[in-house]
Amino acid sequence: MGIIVQKFGGSCLIDAAAVKNAARIITEEYEKGSGVVAVVSAQGDTTDRLIAKADEISKKPAKRELDVLMSAGEQLSAALLAMAVGELGYPCVTLLGWQAGIVTNSVFGHARIRDIDPERIKKELAKKRIVLVAGFQGVDRKNDMTTLGRGGSDTTAVALAAALNAEKCQIYSKIDGIYTADPSCVPDAVKIDEIDYDCMQELSFLGVKVLNPRAVELAKKYGVVIEVKSAFHSDKTGTFVKEDANMEKMLISGVTKMSNVARIFVNDLEDVPGAACGIFELLNQNDIQADIITMATGNNGKVDVSFCVSGDDADEAERVLLESGKYGASDVICDKDVAKISVVGVGMESHPGVGIAIFEALSNSNINIMMITSSELRFSVIVKKDAADEAVAAIHKRFKKY
Ligand code: ASP
Ligand code: MG
């Protein structure tokens, strides 16, 4: 009996009708004779609402307890889905992370899966039960509940697909695949049939929320082929994420936007060895990741450093840099009114035309570029937030003709 792992995102479990629809998809697969393991996310914005509830009580809740709270959303989904599957007359069982054998490290809020013991799942499948697993959660070696970071249910699904040697790993949401740009912002964006792990990981990192970047990383490591598809058009083929994707000589896989970013300037640093190191060490100690780093020597013999961080980390970055007062920085400025626009594709740096095409598209739309960075897989620019959608559309249009 082949095993199929299906993951249902919060957007396709949003209400009773959606839960019943997911139950239909699951039982249809079961009817084909497969062992079905369905991983669920919390309904809609449940996780955000749980975090908001915590925030009403404490600004710095214990991370362990926040995980106990956040993991409740998936437990709710799993139980409701089990009832819907039961109503259709099929045998099923729900398993929370610990019952499903998902063992993680103890980094609450961002735990990493260390080991999976799939014995219980296998036993349930052998009894011909559909297994419904609460995603996003695990248990550490001390038996404390952990969560895998926002969007972590995808990781649960891929990890289980690997551990169970599943035939398929389907990720259902309300979106029917990966597009060359967000269709709600670029109406003529095109659905991609197949994409390789590296490009998908970049897209996920750079703002495509359909699939979590860590799940893609894991899929690459274990060779799990993922199909991203819509629960509301489940008969339609989605996008396959795999190693040897046929990307039809596509140079560009997609154009993305990230609005939750901030640009930080640290001005008038002493021009001495270790100055940059000091700044980024400080950020690292505070778990803040920086990218698009630039450094420029001013005419006063001092240096200015600027970089981007996630919008969630902006205040903290500003605070730690100001408080440290290291290397004589005269001031730290934080600009949250920016967005990161990226173009992802294979071999970008070996095609010099790509950069020029991006600059031309933005220049023709009169959009100012504030920062630029590139790698083999992507080109990113920072622009003003209110120009972001137009920038995506202009770049996407330019590459349609590429
Ligand atoms: N419910 C969690 C979140 O919203 C996990 C997930 O959806 O994958 O981040
Ligand atoms: Mg979610």
CATH of the domain at 13: 3.40.1160.10
Which residue is it, tokens 């969560």?
147
Range of the domain at 133: 3-246
Atom of ligand 1 nearest to the CA of 48: 4
Side chain identity at residue 70, one-letter code: M
Residues 103-150 pLDDT 10s: 999 999 999 999 999 999 999 999 999 999 999 999 999 999 999 999
> How far, rounded to the nearest angstrom, does the alpha carbon of residue 311 sit from its chain's CA centroid?
15
Asked if 263 contacts 371 with a C-beta cutoff of 8 angstroms, the reply is yes
Q: Which of 322, 216, 214 is nearest to 266 (CA)?
A: 322
204 and 121 both lie in a single domain? yes
Report the alpha-carbon distance of residue 138 to residue 148 in Å, rounded.
8
Task: State the CATH number of the domain containing residue 271.
Answer: 3.30.2130.10
Percent of the chain clearing pLDDT 70 (strictly above): 97
240 and 361 both lie in a single domain? no
143 and 275 both lie in a single domain? no
Residues 228-271 pLDDT 10s: 999 999 999 999 999 988 776 667 889 999 999 999 999 888 88
Percent of the chain clearing pLDDT 90 (strictly above): 80
What value does the mean pLDDT take over residues 369-395?
95
Cβ 10 under 6 angstroms from ligand 1: yes
174 and 288 both lie in a single domain? no
Q: Cα–Cα distances in Å, from 18 out to 50, 161, 182, 369?
A: 21, 24, 23, 42
202 and 321 both lie in a single domain? no
Cβ 97 under 6 angstroms from ligand 1: no
Nearest ligand, measured from the Cα of 110: 1
303 and 177 both lie in a single domain? no
Length of the chain counted residue by residue: 402
Specify the pTM. Answer: 0.91
108 and 207 both lie in a single domain? yes
Asked if 65 contacts 58 with a C-beta cutoff of 8 angstroms, the reply is no
Of the residues 224, 246, 268, which one is the last residue of a structural domain? Answer: 246
Asked if 131 contacts 124 with a C-beta cutoff of 8 angstroms, the reply is yes
Residues 34-92 pLDDT 10s: 999 999 999 999 999 999 999 999 999 999 999 999 999 999 999 999 999 999 999 99
Report the alpha-carbon distance of residue 227 to residue 248 in Å, rounded.
18
Q: Ligand 1, from 7, 47, 133, 171: best to mutate by most atoms within 8 Å of Cβ?
A: 47
Give the strand pairing for 194-196 and 168-173.
unpaired
Of the residues 211, 246, 281, which one is the last residue of a structural domain? Answer: 246
193 and 299 both lie in a single domain? no
Of the residues 212, 246, 280, which one is the last residue of a structural domain? Answer: 246
Asked if 373 contacts 294 with a C-beta cutoff of 8 angstroms, the reply is no
Tell me the pLDDT band of 400, cut-offs 50, 70 and 90. Answer: confident
Strand partners for 338: 261, 384
Domain total for the chain? 2
114 and 180 both lie in a single domain? yes
